[in-house]
Amino acid sequence: MAESEGLGAGAGWGSGRMLRRPLALKEKLRNGGVAIGAWLTITDGAAAEIFGRTGFDFVIVDSEHGGAWDLKATHDMLMALNGTDTVPIVRAPWNDHVRIKQLLDLGVEGILAPMVNSVEECKALVAACRYPPLGRRGLGPRRASNYYRNTEEYLAVANSAIFVMPQIEHIDVIPMLDQYLAVSGIDAVAIGPNDMAGTAGVFGNRRHPKIEAAVDAICAQSSKRGIPVFLGINTPASEQRMWVRKGVRILTVAGDHDLLASGATAALRATEEALAEG
């Protein structure tokens, strides 16, 4: 049967092309580069296609807070990124191995898991993204393997290629950072400064000294281990050089909702001001 035997390679697939995008992203980061991406919350495939054709290194689909992201919408987003070099990463609703398996089998190439707030939870995330003997991902990469036409090639590279990024969102992780960052199989760490502020008793104030100190600690210890950091929020251009020096080498600089809201507001204000001048 197709699942066990595989079929002939489809056009444009195979011959070393499986999961080339996350492998290239990892290589860029290993070489000290900075990866630049954007958030996707609008489920229309056109939004993903626009971002992919813009040339971002990656996009993050926010299925944690973007409530309309079911598996069908994710499937359409992945197709919209075909033919681009943009890595599709999904922030899963939770660090749940069942949903992570479904996302990876669709062809998602990176997982950002929220609320990974202990060493054991970090290990569980890695296990969900890896096939045995390195993990517990179930075998069935239907779309990810080009509909079983390149199964052997996919399985040969999946464990090393899938981009795994836990998100630290609890202040209690800071004392265990050394053990957390030592978990084998993580490619980067994300921070959730807003939710971390809530766990530190300063909800709504990610600029509080407690949170800034925690973020600095994550950056410093991650840099020592050569692990790239993602702040978990968009980074203003005025702050980007400073954060890169601290080890933040994964940057999101835009979001579809943000661009739509700010662009619409700017156009309306400009028109109102122009008419007022008359």
Which residues are annotated as catalytic? 65
H runs (alpha helix) in 145-192: 151-161, 177-181
140 by DSSP, 3-state: which?
Answer: coil
57/199 Cα distance (integer angstroms): 32
129/120 Cα distance (integer angstroms): 15
* Residue where the block lists tokens 């296990």: 127
H runs (alpha helix) in 43-150: 45-54, 71-80, 97-106, 119-128
Positive/negative CA dihedral, 197, 214, 190, 117: negative
CB atoms closer than 10 angstroms to residue 11: 6
